[in-house]
Every structure is written in C-alpha cells, then in structure tokens.
Amino acid sequence: MKLPRDRVVFITGASTGIGRAAAEAFRKDGARVAVCARSEIRGLDALCLRCDVRNPEEVKKAVQSVIDEFGELHVLVNNAGFGHYSPVEEQSREDFENIFRTNVFGPFHCVQAALPHLKKTGGQVINISSVRARATVPYMTSYSMTKHALHSFSEGLRVELKPLGIDVIEIGPGLTATKFQSNAKKDGISPDF
C-alpha cells in the first residue's frame, strides 16, 4: 500500500543525530511528525514527547498521544539507542543490561504499542540498526550484540507482518556525523579505531 504524503511518522530518539535529521526530512516531505526522547526536544516542527523507550508504559502513553493528536499512525522509526565502549572483562552487568534495555527492548516495546495502529494503515516499521550488527570491532561487543539482535528482530518481524501489509525496513548506517561518539559510554577506552 502506498502511504499518503501527509503520513503520520513517530520517531524515537529524536533529540539529536539521525532521529532529528529523519524528523526534519519527513516533515519537509509533507509528513505529520511526532518525536520522542528522554530529554527535551526543541526547535522541531513536530509533536514533541518525553518518553523513555525502556519503559513500556511510557511507550504506550506516547503512542496514544500520537493517536490523540493525529488520529492515525503510518510509520514507526525505532531510532533510540546509544553506544558503549568497554572491554568485555571490565563492563559492568548494569551497563550491559542498560544497553540491551534501550537498544533491543525499546524497539520491542515500540512495535508492540504501535502495531494495532499500523495494521489499520498498512504502515511501516523502520529500525535503525548499524553496520556493527554484522561487523563487530573490539570494545564495542555489547553495542554490536544489541544491533545484531535488532537485525534478527527486523528479519523475523518482516515475515510476520508482511501478510498484514506492514513493511519492515532495517537501516544499518556506518560512521555518521552525529554525537554518537561523544554520547557513547566509555570505560577508559579511546574509540579511535
């Protein structure tokens, strides 16, 4: 199904970087855009919501806010995530679990909350993965694991949702001109490789 030009797009992790750029591009193309992040979002022509994707109740509330504002949802962009640099031996269990809660459980929560609405519009799920899903480098093992999990999630979801007319798209960018490097958690590692 071809989506309308004024489609409703909900983007997670849109305060900076890829999420913010995606919001601006969709808006410029005529979409009605809703965005969320844990921090305040300023300067976007969009419905801006605070939401921590690790919390399924906050995700449900954010998706409902999108529906209350626009009446429908066509595209979910799972972009929220962060990196972590650490030798496996030194990474804390807390940090390991936190990156999985954000980068893997977050998209899972968002898809579950959005699916009832995407079924009505024959919409799309766009998962922002990484080249690191298939090419792990030293000190980024946990990040790569999360992106590989997101890749597997995308593959399975694509097959599940195809009969419902919902497309699943996975995007795996490499190095980007964002604050990813400076925002990534680093445990005594200089990520210059």
**Does the pTM exceed 0.95?**
no
Active site residue 28: no
pLDDT tens profile 51-100: 999 999 999 999 999 999 999 999 999 999 998 888 999 999 999 999 99
pLDDT tens profile 135-183: 888 898 999 999 999 999 999 999 999 999 999 999 987 766 555 445 5
Cα–chain center distance at 124:
13
Active site residue 129: yes
Determine the residue type at 78.
Answer: N
Catalytic residue among 15, 85, 142, 143: 143
Q: Check residue 138 and give its pLDDT.
A: 87
What average pLDDT does the chain have? 91
Q: Check residue 175 and give its pLDDT.
A: 63
DSSP the chain: -PPPTT-EEEEES-SSHHHHHHHHHHHHTT-EEEEEESS---S-SSEEEE--TT-HHHHHHHHHHHHHHHS---EEEE-----EE--GGG--HHHHHHHHIIIIIHHHHHHHHHHHHHHHHT-EEEEE--GGGT---TT-HHHHHHHHHHHHHHHHHHHHHGGGT-EEEEE---S-SSSHHHHSEESS-----
pLDDT tens profile 19-46: 999 999 999 999 999 999 999 999 999 9
Catalytic residue among 129, 142, 144, 154: 129
Q: Check residue 177 and give its pLDDT.
A: 55
The half-sphere exposure of 43 on its side-chain side, counting CA atoms within 13 A, is 4
pLDDT tens profile 109-123: 999 999 999 999 999
Q: Helix crossing, 141-161 with 93-100: angle to 10°?
A: 30
The half-sphere exposure of 97 on its side-chain side, counting CA atoms within 13 A, is 3
